[in-house]
Chain A
């Protein structure tokens, strides 16, 4: 069972570089989201999507873009990497069950911007 797959697991970027973090799920979930986790801050929502073709901003969207062309894929693009974007990034997906849903997470991407 693949679940939610994130790539890469580790990445080092230089300031100003761009890159795309990949996320794919095989559970036919409508909801997908991206979080970043920093020490002492918990998980903070970057962007989310309620279905293919629909995306919206979360709590900390600046410096990131997303798109949702298919139900399965939800890539996160860093436009011009900054040291403040050094973090662990998690992608999650969930099925709408009406009263709140269990989220399934990918294994995370550890990003360092130097």
Chain B
């Protein structure tokens, strides 16, 4: 079993709609959680961090459920520019601060 698992998608989303997807992690000692965005053939960039029970940044909301070991990302009022791959990332400082990446969820927003 992979340490971080994501639905690869693609999620085809009409412009203006809401889309949500999850990421599960297997190591209960994971302590920091992030969503990164990766555009085609580009480097990943931090979208938002999830440190406690959740985090909201404009149209993006991330939730953390430690009991069930998953985080989620919700995008409201989807824009064409939201089309990208969203990478779930977890961190364990005890493991040398290594980041472990999920395989990514691809989102395609269509007019």
Contacts and interface: CB of A to CB of B under 8 A. Distances in A.
Contacts of B8: 40
A99 B93 contact: yes
B64 interface: no
Contacts of A101: 32, 91, 97
A105 interface: yes
B79 to A, nearest CB: 23
Interface residues of B, number: 27
Contact of A107 (B34, B42, B49, B100): B42
Interface in A53-87: 56, 58
A42 B102 contact: yes
Contacts of B97: 31, 50, 94, 96, 100-101
A102 B101 contact: no
B69 interface: no
B2 to A, nearest CB: 8
B45 interface: yes
A102 B91 CA distance: 10
Given A40-B103, A42-B104, A98-B93, A48 B43 contact: no
B58 interface: no
Interface string B13-57: 000000000000000000111100000011111100101000000
A48 B101 CA distance: 15
Contacts of A41: 103
A103 B42 contact: no
Interface of A: 31, 33, 35, 40-45, 48, 50, 56, 58, 90, 92, 94, 96, 98-103, 105-108
28 contacts: A41-B103, A43-B44, A43-B87, A43-B101, A44-B101, A45-B98, A45-B99, A45-B100, A48-B96, A48-B98, A50-B97, A56-B96, A90-B43, A90-B44, A92-B99, A94-B97, A99-B51, A100-B51, A100-B91, A100-B97, A101-B32, A101-B91, A102-B49, A103-B89, A103-B99, A105-B44, A105-B45, A106-B43
